[in-house]
């Protein structure tokens, strides 16, 4: 990244600097699966798993304006920004606020209702599982868009695998209803306050959460006109 970048007002400001990546583990193979045959051909691939660190000001673009307005609005509600915002990250041209889960709903309401912010639309919540991120293995990532100001940002909440509870945002963003159900279905994140938190894709009696990285790779044998297709971890390895 260059030393300066062009913000909205056209003047040069220093490019945002981060505190360096946070290494949480090492992944082997294409998907990091263990205990089964690697049919991808990338069994020898070794990659470091790292999360971007906090970014120092100035963030550039409209990011500083959004951060200033959010922090000021939280202070008006007698909520210290440093208690609600765990860290701010600018990575790959995107702004992400990492929010403490107990303050998620209040922060979302401020982002939606403050006239200078007006992030009226949440396009969904995505689950992420980082087994190596000890104490915060499960992440919920929210994608917000301001139709008024033509801006986007992300909120991210991290919780431990042993306590996978996150407040529901359905009361703030009703479109999150099915998205939260899907994230619960596949990752096991429990959205407290959701009006009907049930599985949406898998059968109601399904065991486990299929998109977690520690979920067994075996899959379900499938038959096609009498020919049985073995589960992925039972197939021939080509590595």
pTM summary value = 0.81
In a domain, 7, yes or no: no
Q: Which residue has the higher pLDDT, 35 or 127?
A: 127
- Give residue 196's pLDDT: 96
- Give residue 9's pLDDT: 45
- DSSP 3-state of 179: helix
The mean pLDDT value for 61-68 works out to 97
Q: How far is CA 97 from CA 66, 86, 122, 216, 222, in A?
A: 11, 8, 14, 32, 43
User: 66 φ, ψ to 5°?
Assistant: -65, -45
- Domain count of the chain? 1
Give which of 216, 228, 189 is closest to 36, Cα–Cα: 216
In a domain, 93, yes or no: yes
In the chain, % of residues over pLDDT 70: 78
143 in Cβ contact with 227 (< 8 Å)? no
Confidence band (pLDDT; 50, 70, 90) for 124? very high
In a domain, 217, yes or no: no
Confidence band (pLDDT; 50, 70, 90) for 128? very high
Length of the chain measured in residues: 239
Confidence band (pLDDT; 50, 70, 90) for 46? confident
In a domain, 34, yes or no: no
The mean pLDDT value for 147-168 works out to 97
In a domain, 129, yes or no: yes
In a domain, 199, yes or no: yes
Q: What is the DSSP string of 118-151?
A: ---EEEEEEEEE-TTSTT--EEEEEEEEETTTTE
End-to-end CA gap in the chain: 36
Instruction: Give the CATH number of the domain where residue 77 resides.
Output: 3.30.460.80
Question: pLDDT digits over 68-110, tens only?
Answer: 999 999 999 999 999 999 999 999 999 999 999 999 999 999 9
In a domain, 78, yes or no: yes
The Cα–Cα gap between 55 and 59 comes to: 7
* DSSP structure class, residue 232: G
In a domain, 2, yes or no: no
The range of the structural domain enclosing residue 150 comes to 53-204
């Amino acid at each position: 990244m260059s030393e300066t970048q062009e913000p909205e007002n056209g003047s040069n400001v220093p490019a945002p600097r981060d505190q360096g990546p946070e290494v949480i583990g090492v992944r082997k193979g294409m998907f990091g699966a263990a205990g089964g045959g690697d049919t991808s051909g990338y069994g020898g691939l070794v990659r470091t798993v790292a999360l971007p660190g906090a970014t120092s000001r100035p963030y550039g673009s409209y990011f500083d304006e959004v951060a200033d307005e959010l922090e000021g609005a939280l202070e008006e509600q007698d909520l210290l920004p440093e208690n609600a915002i765990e860290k701010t990250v600018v990575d790959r041209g995107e702004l992400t606020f990492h929010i403490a889960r107990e303050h998620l709903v209040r922060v979302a309401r401020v982002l939606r209702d403050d006239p200078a912010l007006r992030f009226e639309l949440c396009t969904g919540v995505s689950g992420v599982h980082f087994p190596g991120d000890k104490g915060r293995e499960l992440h919920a990532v929210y994608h917000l868009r301001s139709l008024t100001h033509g801006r986007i940002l992300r909120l991210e909440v991290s919780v431990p695998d042993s306590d996978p509870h996150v407040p529901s945002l359905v009361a703030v963003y009703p479109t999150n209803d099915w998205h939260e159900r899907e994230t619960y279905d596949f990752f096991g994140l429990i959205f407290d306050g959701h009006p009907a938190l049930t599985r949406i894709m898998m059968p109601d009696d399904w065991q486990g959460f299929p998109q977690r990285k520690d979920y067994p790779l075996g899959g379900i044998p499938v038959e096609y006109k009498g020919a049985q297709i073995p589960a992925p971890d039972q197939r021939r390895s080509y590595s």
